[in-house]
Every structure is written in structure tokens, then in C-alpha cells.
Amino acid sequence: MEQKIIPIRPMSPTRERKRQAPKGRRVDPALLAEVQHLLGDRPRRKDLLIEHLHLIQDHYGRLSTHHLAALAQEMRLAQAEVYEVASFYHHFDVVRDDAATNAAAVPALTVRVCESLSCEMAGARDLLERLPGLLGADVRVLAAPCVGRCEQAPVAVVGQKPVAHASTEKVCAVVDAGETQDTPSGYIDYAGYLQQGGYRLLTDCLSGDKSVEAVMSAMESSGLRGLGGAGFPAGRKWRIVGNEPGPRLMAVNIDEGEPGTFKDRTYLERDPHRFLEGMLIAAWAVGIEAIYIYLRDEYHGCRALLTQELAKLQANPPAGKLPEIHLRRGAGAYICGEESAMIESIEGKRGMPRLRPPYVAQVGLFGRPTLEHNFETLYWVREIIEKGPDWFASHGRHGRKGLRSFSVSGRVNKPGVHLAPAGITIQELIDEYCGGMQAGQRFYAYLPGGASGGILPASLNNIPLDFDTLQAYGCFIGSAAVIVLSEQDSAVGAARNMTKFFHDESCGQCTPCRVGTAKSLDLIQQSHWDQALLADLSEVMRDASICGLGQAAPNPIDCVIKYFPHELTETGTRTS
């Protein structure tokens, strides 16, 4: 049989041309010009994607899909890549580009009411119910996860302006006045810090008056551990990263999204340069070439403060050449408090935790060895080195060493950040630092480590609060976020609040966490808890979740079953 030969037609000139833009929807030239104008002369690097999304969101109050397409073309990225990042973070409002609906898709002003446990106990539910009717259709009212101001509960955020001890009257007054920006004040600025002897220690380090080995040894001898929750020894971390081949980078975590935690914000608002000096000393000791500070988006005033003070520092450095310092803005994702998820976000991606190994000390930011630190860890560096490691280690109670910054909220007279000896008990903390319980309130239970740290009854009021002291009770101290409950509250209600938080904040990457938090929330909303099924879920989530969110999410539920069984059998279970 004769084979038929089909000639190959030459490719047309049109098909031979290289694509001039990423594949996807057509880009409106006018909208592309708008995006180009907003970006100005800023670099178009991929790691700046989230920063550029913020520019558009801040300017237009939304992210239309037309603008996303234009941004993708301008940054030479796939449109799907831009969309998946924009749709991952809570603070980005992605809307369809239908001209008929786009203008009204997102109201001009958003009021966020914190619904975390401390704010719920202080009346946030009432605010969420009443504000929409009072503010009208032109203002959007949203329930928000913890905004890091638990000592001021309940808290609402009007635009970017926090309203402490919020009431409907206060919130309406701020809206009517058009006050939507948080303006920092009352902190020690660059000039004031220099007058108090600030940056003298950094100057000694850079000039050679202090050796790297002396500083490293002081950090190791002090016993200072990471104060973001994990508690890894700070000095040991410096040595590990310093022994890795350069170039080395540094990532600073100020994304304290754990409900009940606000210590980093408090210290940053008072004395930002103490933290910056500690950061620069760590960078010098480890040999860091560039530093990336990741600040949660809820801290708008702190961002303005840091931007201003960093500019002063870089324009007139105290001594020597400083490493590059980049301030990066989160976008509303609790998961980015996990170190590898934070690094993914700094790189312009969705904040999803990485599988380990390798660890970030070896392969971290942009694939380089990375020194990752919490804000407060660096805040103590100057004082430890100036006063000597024995000064820090000399504090402590009940056999523990060091100092702890406890973020205390709930039913106490003096909520706030209390610097106390490591190992102090909850009863001592309440009586000596917090002014006792509020009038008419009787101590019932407490959370020693925020939403993930578990719940303990008041009968266990003599446990030293520190790293490694609470694990035997199914709890941990984490970032020392203490929430105090009274007899008018319930552990069941607290567990429901926190499980909802974990469900909302799960990044969805791994099935045990994504499905486990949803199923757990459904089960504990029932009047009767299926304890056997909850135990199975807890075991799977702890064993198989990629990161600490899924591994710790069962803690509140497990503690209720273990320590508060009477609440599960009461016919009139308290719900607050």
C-alpha cells in the first residue's frame, strides 16, 4: 500500500514570534498605565509582589482582576501566580472586573471588629451585631482574628486606626470624623536613643572593641531562648547560622498573630531602636548581608514608625556600613508567624510552611542560610551584653532562669505586658503584677500560651510558667500570652472560639490540618461531644500536620475533655 506523504507546512511568522506578555486575559492599556504609575520606579522583582498588591489595594480599596492582569504583565508573571497570592491573604479584596459590579463590590471603608477570645469576653459580639445597622451600607463591618491589642479589648479597627475599649459610640465617632490612620507618638526616636547611650554597643562591635566570640559567648551563657514561641537557644542559633557558607541573610518575625499576644507591639511602640540595635549586633556577629523585617499588617502605626526611624538610621548610621534592611508588610495571615511560611511570604508567595529538613538556618530566604528571630529576642540583646549574661540568668523563680514578657488579658484589673521572672506561677502573676481579678470575678481558668497553648483550671495555679514546664499538662507557654477566665466564662466557649480561629487560619496545604480543624469545629459545636472521634482527630493532626498550627490546634479541645469534663455534662453550659 502506497504511503501518503503529508507535507509539513512552515510555521507562520505570527506563530514564530515570541509571546510579548504572559498568557491570560487581555490587559487594558489604561489599567496597565495606572499600575505602572502606582509602582513608579520600584523594582519589578517577584519578591515584591505582595508589596505591589498593597499599593493597589491601598489606592483603590480593592484588587480588580483587570488590575491583577496588568500587574502580572508589568512584573512578567503568570496571571494565575498573581491571583493565587492575592486571594490567599485576608487583607486583599479581589473582585471581578465586571464594570457593573466592580464599583460597589467593596465599600469605601472597612471596620474590623476583633473576635478573638479576649475581645469576645469583653463584648465583641455585641459590637458585631449592632455596628452594621448604625454605620450603614457604605461601611463594611467584618469579624477579624486577633489584631494584637488584647489588653485594650474589645478592639475595632476603622480603616487602619485601632479603637481601644471600643463601643458603638466610639466607633461611630471615629468613622464620622474620618480618622482612618494610626499615627504613632510618644516613643524614643533616633535622637533620643542616641542621647541615652544607644548604638554605643554596636559601635564597639564594629570597631573591634568587642569580639564576635565574646558576644556569642555572652548570648550562650545568658540562656536566652527564642521568645516567639519555639524557645530555641539564641546563642546556639547564631553559631549554627554563622558556620554556614555565605552569603547569609536574616529574617525578623514581627507577625505576632497568636491570640492573646501583643508584647512585640508594645515594646516596638516604646523603644524601636533597642530592637534595631540588637538586630544589627546579631547581623554583625553572624555575618549577615541583608535583613528582612516582616511586620504584621495590623500594626499600621508600627509600620509608619519603623519606616521613619529606619530612614533616620540609614541616613546617619552610628558607625560603619550597615547591612541592607528591608521592611516587608504582611497581609493578614496567622500562618505567616511560622518561620518558613514567613519566608515564603517575604519571597512574594503564599504563606505556606515548608517541609523540613532542610531547615531555614541552612536553606532559608532565597535559598540562603538564614538567621530567623522573633522581635523580642533581639530586643534583649543589648541589655544582656551590656549587663552581662549573669544579669539575665539571675532572674527567675521556682528553679527557672531568666525574664519573661507576659502578655496578660482577660478578667484581671491590670491587663498588659508584664515583665516578670521566668517560672512565676499564674497566681503570683495575677496577684503581684495584674492587680488581682476584676471586681466580682473569681479565677476559673487560664490559657498559659495563647490559643495554641491549651487551657488549665484555676486549681493548677502553682505550675511555673516557662519553657518545658507545661508539657506534662498538655500545654506550653509559647510566646507567653496569658488569658485569664473567670467563673462567668467557660472552657468550652474558649475552645470553640480558638478552634474557629484555627479553622479560619489554616493555610489548607495539608489535609490533617485543613480537614481536621473543620471537622473538630463541627464536632464541638454540638451539645454532645463525640470524645472518641475527637481523640482520633487529635492524634492524626498532631502526627501528620506539616507545621505547628495543625499540631497544636487540638490542645484547647483536649484540655476541655481532660480538665473540664463537668462542662460537657452541664445542661446549661456557659457559652462565653
> Any idea which fold 395-486 has?
Ubiquitin-like (UB roll) (3.10.20)
Buried b (16+ CB within 10 A) or exposed e, 465-497: bbbebbeeebbbbbbbbbbbbbeebbbbbbbbb
Res. 569 pLDDT band, cuts 50 70 90: confident
Res. 574 pLDDT band, cuts 50 70 90: very low
Check whether 7 has a pLDDT greater than 60: no
Q: Beta-strand (E) ranges in 347-394?
A: 370-374
Cell of 111: 471596620
pLDDT digits (tens, 9 = 90+) for 321-335: 999 999 999 999 999
For the segment 4-17, the average pLDDT, to the nearest whole number, is: 54
Range(s) for CATH 3.40.50.11540 in the chain?
A: 190-387
Check whether 17 has a pLDDT greater than 70: no
Res. 500 pLDDT band, cuts 50 70 90: very high
Q: What percent of the chain has pLDDT over 90?
A: 91
**pLDDT at position 13, please?**
52
Identify the architecture of domain 29-95 in CATH: Orthogonal Bundle (1.10)
pLDDT digits (tens, 9 = 90+) for 523-547: 999 999 999 999 999 999 999 999 9
**pLDDT at position 520, please?**
98
Check whether 162 has a pLDDT greater than 90: yes
For the segment 133-149, the average pLDDT, to the nearest whole number, is: 96
Range(s) for CATH 3.10.20.600 in the chain?
A: 395-486
For the segment 554-574, the average pLDDT, to the nearest whole number, is: 85
- Measured N-to-C along each axis, helices 272-286 and 212-222 cross at an angle, to the nearest 10 degrees, of 120
DSSP string, 41-82: T----GGGHHHHHHHHHHHHSSEEHHHHHHHHHHHT--HHHH
**pLDDT at position 438, please?**
98
Identify the architecture of domain 490-575 in CATH: Up-down Bundle (1.20)
For the segment 157-173, the average pLDDT, to the nearest whole number, is: 98
Range(s) for CATH 1.20.1440.230 in the chain?
A: 490-575
**pLDDT at position 39, please?**
98
Check whether 2 has a pLDDT greater than 60: no
**pLDDT at position 508, please?**
95
Selected residue with higher pLDDT from 26 and 462? 462
Q: What percent of the chain has pLDDT over 70?
A: 93
**pLDDT at position 479, please?**
93
Check whether 298 has a pLDDT greater than 70: yes
- For residues 478 and 470, the answer to whether their CB atoms sit within 8 Å is no
**pLDDT at position 96, please?**
84
The total of other beta-carbon atoms located within 10 Å of residue 526's CB is 8
**pLDDT at position 320, please?**
83
Res. 494 pLDDT band, cuts 50 70 90: very high
Cell of 372: 530567623
> Any idea which fold 190-387 has?
Rossmann fold (3.40.50)
**pLDDT at position 563, please?**
98
Edge to edge, what strands does the sheet with 156-158 contain? 139-144, 109-114, 156-158, 161-163
Task: Give the gyration radius of the chain's Cα atoms.
Answer: 25
How far apart CA 253 and CA 275 sit, in angstroms, is: 12
Cell of 482: 496569658
> Any idea which fold 109-177 has?
Glutaredoxin (3.40.30)
Res. 106 pLDDT band, cuts 50 70 90: confident
Left, alpha or beta for 63 (phi > 0: left; psi -120 to 50: alpha)?
Answer: beta
Mean pLDDT over the full length of the chain = 94
**Residue for cell digits 514564530?**
16
The total of other beta-carbon atoms located within 10 Å of residue 547's CB is 22
pLDDT digits (tens, 9 = 90+) for 378-417: 999 999 999 999 999 999 999 999 999 999 999 999 999 9
Check whether 571 has a pLDDT greater than 90: no
How much is the pTM? Answer: 0.93
How far apart CA 543 and CA 552 sit, in angstroms, is: 10
For the segment 337-353, the average pLDDT, to the nearest whole number, is: 97
Check whether 87 has a pLDDT greater than 80: yes
**pLDDT at position 26, please?**
86
**pLDDT at position 24, please?**
63
Check whether 362 has a pLDDT greater than 90: yes
